[in-house]
Amino acid sequence: MKTLYFEATEDSPLVLLNAESNKFILKGRSFMEDPVPFQSAILEWLRNYIITAEKTLDVTIELEYVSSSSHHMLLNIMAELNKYYIFNKSINVSWAYYSNDEFMKDLVQEFRESFSIPIKELVLA
C-alpha cells in the first residue's frame, strides 16, 4: 500500500498515512474552501488500510486551526477511524493542542462523545 503524503500549505495541514509504519499524522492549520478532494484521498486510504491492517495504527493529530468545512472533514475521518476501532483493530489516537485553545479542547470532547474510539489528549505549553 502506498504512503499518502500532503505537504502542509497555508490553508491545509500536513498529512502522512504510512501503512509500513502504521502511522497517520495530521498537523497544521485546516481552513480549505473545498476540503472534499483532500478528504476523499484520506478516506479512501483509510478504507483500504482497514481491510488489510493487522498492527496498531498510531494516529497523531495536532491542529492549530479548523474551519467549519474542515470540521466536517475531521468528523468524517474520525468516523472512519472509529470503524477501524469497532472492527477490533488496535488504534492509538493522540490529539495535541495548546493549553489556551478552548476550541480544540471542546472539539476533542465532542469527538469523544460522538465515537467510541479512545482519544489521548496531549496538552502543549
pLDDT of residue 3: 97
Q: How many domains does the chain have?
A: 1
**Taking the CB of residue 121, how many other CB atoms lie within 10 A of it?**
14
Query: How do residues 90-100 score in pLDDT, each as one tens digit?
Result: 999 999 999 99
Ranges of residues in the chain with a pLDDT under 70 are: none
How many residues are present in the chain?
A: 125
Cα 8 off chain centre by: 14
CATH code: domain of residue 63: 3.30.750
pLDDT of residue 89: 84
Cα 87 off chain centre by: 18
Whole-model pTM: value is 0.93
Domain residues for the domain of 91 are 4-124
